[in-house]
């Protein structure tokens, strides 16, 4: 399909990009890698009057470590995240996104700003308790991942604002694992689960975070399962008992691939597997 007509600008500074968004009004949209927005435009599910391409804005891509966290530019591609093993969980998750072509164009910021609950990276930001930096006409603000994802394809990024950075806590010493259930390797997740586990000196679970993908209209934490495991031994029985509660409080949408009940089953099974793997990998 051919998209509706639109204007296009590629400003060379953040201020100019914000100005273009302001002048373009509510029908102006930011363009990052284009791998979610352009397909929607081709299907005429989105018809922005202006695209403000961020590719020439300096300082929006790359990864730096500072103060125990990684500062990730929103224009950092999935393939760059995949190639950076220091990013731990985020790196192994990026490797599961679509195929090499998509990973070379698609960006972590685009994925987070798009707010699709089936995308892989939002649940990672949620489980790691990351923070998003958003800049707009009113200045800059920090939004915790727990407050960022508001509803299906709806995030805390308002019209006229740009996601300018992601802060991902390094979580040194945590074991991590990711399991994504799909029919073909490059497909979106039917359900996916990530886990981060920290072991106490006596081998019990000091901390655990479980992120769920495609189990509701936003990415979710499996908080009941986390609470069931925290402070318990990291043995197969405790892990299995906690994982049984992984679907508590979720409301997964049924679709062509899976009923809500099947998705809840997947969340429990995948949670057990990632918890076992993350516990085994924890320092």
Ligand X SMILES: Cc1cc2nc3c(=O)[nH]c(=O)nc-3n(C[C@H](O)[C@H](O)[C@H](O)COP(=O)(O)OP(=O)(O)OC[C@H]3O[C@@H](n4cnc5c(N)ncnc54)[C@H](O)[C@@H]3O)c2cc1C
Tokens of 71: 């500062």
What is the C-alpha separation between 232 and 115, in angstroms, rounded? 34
Question: Considering beta carbons, is residue 101 or 259 the nearer one to ligand X?
Answer: 101
Tokens of 170: 């390094």
The helix (run of H) or strand (run of E) holding residue 279 is: helix 260-281
Note the residues at the interface with ligand X (CB under 6 A). Answer: 29-37, 39, 54, 74, 97-98, 102, 106-107, 109-111, 113-114, 119-121, 157, 162-163, 188
Cite the DSSP H helix spans in 97-157.
100-105, 108-114, 121-127, 145-148
CB of 77 to ligand X, least distance (A): 8
Centroid of chain to Cα 6: 28
CB atoms within 10 A of CB 167: 20
Question: Considering beta carbons, is residue 69 or 102 the nearer one to ligand X?
Answer: 102
Question: Considering beta carbons, is residue 95 or 200 the nearer one to ligand X?
Answer: 95
Question: Considering beta carbons, is residue 256 or 283 the nearer one to ligand X?
Answer: 256
CB of 134 to ligand X, least distance (A): 8
CB of 145 to ligand X, least distance (A): 15
Tokens of 2: 């051919």
Burial of 182 (0-12, 13-18, 19+ CB in 10 A): middle
CB of 176 to ligand X, least distance (A): 17
What is the C-alpha separation between 155 and 164, in angstroms, rounded? 14
Pick from 121, 14, 116: nearest CA to 61 = 14
Question: Considering beta carbons, is residue 151 or 235 the nearer one to ligand X?
Answer: 151
CB of 222 to ligand X, least distance (A): 19
Question: Considering beta carbons, is residue 29 or 199 the nearer one to ligand X?
Answer: 29
Q: Do the Cβ atoms of 188 and 253 come closer than 8 Å? A: no
CB of 225 to ligand X, least distance (A): 23
CB of 246 to ligand X, least distance (A): 20
Can you say whether residue 68 is alpha, beta or left, with left for phi > 0 and alpha for psi between -120 and 50 degrees? left
Question: Considering beta carbons, is residue 195 or 243 the nearer one to ligand X?
Answer: 195
Q: CA dist 113 to 18, 40, 107, 204, 228, Å?
A: 16, 15, 10, 36, 32
């Amino acid at each position: 399909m051919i998209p509706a007509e639109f204007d296009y600008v590629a400003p060379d500074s953040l201020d100019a990009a914000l100005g273009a968004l302001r002048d373009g009004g509510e029908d102006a949209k930011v363009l990052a890698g284009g791998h979610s927005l352009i397909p929607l435009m081709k299907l005429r599910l989105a018809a922005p009057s202006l695209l403000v391409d961020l590719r020439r804005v300096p300082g929006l891509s790359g990864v730096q470590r500072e103060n125990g966290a990684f500062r990730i530019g929103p224009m950092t591609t999935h393939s760059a995240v995949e190639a950076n093993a220091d990013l731990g969980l985020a790196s192994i998750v990026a490797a599961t996104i679509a195929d090499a072509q998509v990973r070379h164009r698609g960006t972590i910021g685009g994925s987070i700003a798009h707010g699709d609950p089936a995308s892989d990276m939002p649940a990672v930001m949620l489980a790691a308790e990351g923070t998003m930096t958003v800049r707009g006409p009113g200045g800059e603000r920090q939004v915790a991942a727990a407050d960022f994802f508001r509803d299906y394809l709806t995030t805390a990024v308002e019209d006229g604002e740009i996601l300018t950075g992601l802060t991902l806590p390094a979580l040194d010493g945590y074991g991590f694992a990711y399991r994504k259930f799909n029919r073909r390797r490059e497909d979106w997740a039917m359900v996916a689960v990530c886990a981060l586990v920290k072991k106490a000196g006596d081998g019990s679970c000091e901390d655990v975070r479980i992120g769920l993908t495609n189990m509701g209209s936003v990415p979710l934490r499996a908080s009941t399962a986390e609470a069931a495991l925290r402070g318990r031994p990291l043995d197969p029985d405790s892990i299995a008992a906690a994982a049984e509660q992984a679907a508590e409080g979720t409301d997964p949408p049924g679709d062509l691939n899976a009923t809500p009940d099947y998705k809840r089953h997947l969340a429990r099974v995948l949670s057990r597997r990632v918890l076992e793997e993350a516990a085994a990998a924890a320092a």
